[in-house]
Amino acid sequence: MVAGFVYKFVLQKQLNNSSQRLFGKNNILSIILMEVEDDSVRKIDFLMAGVGGQGTILASNILAGVGMELGYDVKTAEVHGMAQRGGTVESHVRWGEKVFSPLVEQGKTDYLIGFEMLEAARWPMYLNKESVVLSNSYRIPPPSVNLGKATYPTQDEIEGILKRKGSKVLWLDATNLAGSLGNPAMAGVVLLGALSNLVGGTGEIWLEVIKRLVPEKFVEMNQKAYLEGKAVHFS
Judged on CB neighbours under 10 Å (0-12, 13-18, 19+), 1 is exposed
**Sequence-distant contacts of 184-187: CB under 8 A, at least 24 apart:** 185/53, 185/54, 185/55, 186/55, 186/221, 186/222, 186/225, 187/54, 187/55, 187/115, 187/136, 187/138, 187/225
**CA gyration radius for the chain?**
17
Q: Could you give all domains of the chain from N- to C-terminal order, each with its CATH number?
A: 6-230 (3.40.920.10)
Amino acid at 52: G
Condensed to tens digits (0 to 9), the pLDDT of residues 18-67 reads 333 333 444 434 443 444 455 555 899 999 999 877 888 999 999 999 99
DSSP string covering 133-190 = EEEE------HHHHTTSS-PPPHHHHHHHHTTTT-EEEEE-HHHHHHHTT-GGGHHHH
Condensed to tens digits (0 to 9), the pLDDT of residues 133-188 reads 999 999 998 888 989 999 999 999 999 999 998 889 999 999 999 999 999 999 99
